[in-house]
Amino acid sequence: MDEKTVFGLALGLPGTPWRVSDVQFDLDKRRLDIHLDFPPGSRFTHPRTGKTASVYDTLERTWRHLNFFQFECYVHAFVPRVDDESGVNLVEVPWARPQSGFTLLMEALVVMLARTGMSVAEAARVIGEYPQRLWLILEKQVAKARAAQRLEGVETLSVDEVSRAKGHEYVTILSQPKTEEHPARVLAVAEGREAAAVAEAQRSLTKRGLDAKRVKQVCQDMSAAYLKGTRETYPNAEIIFDCFHIVQLATRAVDEVRRRERKQFPQELKHARWLLLKGFEKLNDEQKSRLRALRTGHLQTGKAYNLLDGLRWILQMESGEEAERELFWWCQWASLSRIKEMVKVSRTLKDHWAGVTAYLWTRITNAAAEALNGIIQTVKRKARGFKTVKNFATMIYLVAGKLHFDLPWPVPITHTTSS
């Protein structure tokens, strides 16, 4: 088997009119050039009509291919234009995407490197290309994969934000919790965290076939902007406030009480911050003893902690009816506690009663969305930020969108798992 046949098999040319006509290896330039051609009289499929047609003329094209060992590899071909009743058009080649300067295997390698956590700048250094060329590959492949993503079964959404850069720059993320058909996945990203960002994210989903009226449940925090955006965008959806944000609201109130009383009782509350914020099961015996003393003492900090502990217990109850009844009495307890920070928490829960109690009945949380956000933040730190929202959104879809890319696998498979 000669070298032309070997490279032809590697490029997937059998069964097509294409053949390897020449292979040039330049040791000084550390470069391999593969030239392709087709026999005279060959006919090609017209990209518009799907009919075979004769060659009208050709255009010379070059594509960057996977490195051959440590040498850069390029594929060259005179790509034919075919003519029929619909006009003259350039045919599609089997080894590359239309209007791309890279072969499909090279694009697959770029996608694989980016999905595994390597920053685009690092991938560009490894491959030996400009980062902007790799961003163009990722944007095209992500757009294609998102267009093919199935959304007909989506009825529950999570709304959350992720910081993009310093200075309160955020993006809003719409994600779908885990279902029997799909893992938790990011569906849409929009700039900002205002009400308009929710509508903007939904518009991109509407273009892909997800009607906002089909969404039955939206889980989010108590942000006024998101609340307004959700009500306007999803008229038929039940709004559910995430239980973690409910607990966080009360936890912050307890810490505010501690800071206020610390000035008056410095000795009693010395090193008490993490004592109050940590879970009871994570404390050692000495810390547990001190916390018990604080909870039964005269300080408002201990009483506020008792309220927090009661709220946690209510949110863990299995019966929605019983939990709602207990939460009503908790709000009365907090209102009569004379602890202004906890009175404020009680008032907030009453003002958002429908969304709070919706959690007690549905048990839907933003836990999956928070897990996705953790992955996104790791990628952001690895890249040391992103210059544009478009690049950030592209990377979010890559690492958290659970997209399927119709690309060949760019590296050899060395082992398989047994079934």
User: Confidence band (pLDDT; 50, 70, 90) for 413?
Assistant: low
Residue that finishes a domain, picked among 54, 82, 101:
101
Residues 268 and 253 grouped into a single domain: yes
- Contacts of residue 89, defined as CB under 8 A and 6 or more positions apart, other chains included, come to 46, 47, 48, 81, 82
CA separation for the pair 388, 143 (Å, rounded): 17
d(CA 61, CA 59): 6
Give me 228's structure tokens.
């307004």
Flag whether 312 is in a domain.
yes
In this structure, is residue 405 part of a structural domain? Answer: no
Domain count, the chain: 3
Q: What is the mean pLDDT of residues 47-63?
A: 89
pLDDT band of residue 1 (cuts 50, 70, 90) is: low
Lowest mean pLDDT among 245-254, 262-271, 329-338, 391-400: 262-271
- 349 and 381 inside one domain: no
Residue finishing a domain among 101, 124, 148: 101
406 inside domain? no
Q: Are residues 233 and 249 in the same domain?
A: no
Check whether 139 has a pLDDT greater than 60: yes
* Residue 147 near residue 408, CB atoms below 8 Å: no
DSSP secondary structure, 51-103, as one string: -EEEEEEEEEEEEEEEEETTEEEEEEEEEEEEEETTEEEEPPPTTB-TT-SBB
**251/293 same-domain check:** yes
Q: Are residues 379 and 234 in the same domain?
A: yes
Residues 269 and 321 in one domain: yes
Tell me, yes or no, whether 129 lies in a domain: no
Averaged over 380-404, what is the pLDDT? 91
Reading the block at residue 85, the tokens are: 């009743």
Are 373 and 227 within one domain? yes
Same-domain check for residues 231 and 266: no
pTM of the model: 0.86
pLDDT of residue 418: 45
Of 33, 66, 101, the domain-final residue: 101
Domain membership flag for residue 291: yes
What mean pLDDT is predicted for residues 291-313? Answer: 92
Q: What integer best gives the mean pLDDT of the chain? A: 91
Model pLDDT, residue 416: 53
Quick check: 395 pLDDT over 60? yes
Instruction: Classify residue 103 as left (phi > 0), alpha (psi -120 to 50) or beta.
Output: beta
Give the domain extent around 329.
Answer: 243-362
Percent of the chain exceeding pLDDT 90 equals 68
Within a domain: residue 228? yes
Let me know if residue 147 belongs to a domain. no
Domain harbouring 234, CATH code: 3.30.420.10
Q: Based on the domain organization, do 30 and 47 belong to the same domain?
A: yes
Q: Which of 346, 179, 315 is closest to 240 using CA atoms? A: 315
Is 134 among the domain residues?
no
Residues 286 and 355 in one domain: yes
pLDDT digits 0-9 by tens, 143-196:
999 999 999 889 999 999 998 876 668 999 999 998 888 899 999 999 999 999
For residues 332 and 386, state if they share a domain. Answer: no
Q: Based on the fold, state whether residues 357 and 370 are members of the same structural domain.
A: no
Q: Which residue has the tokens 């090609």?
A: 44
Q: What is the pLDDT of residue 70?
A: 86
What local confidence, expressed as pLDDT, does residue 114 receive?
92
pLDDT of residue 50: 83
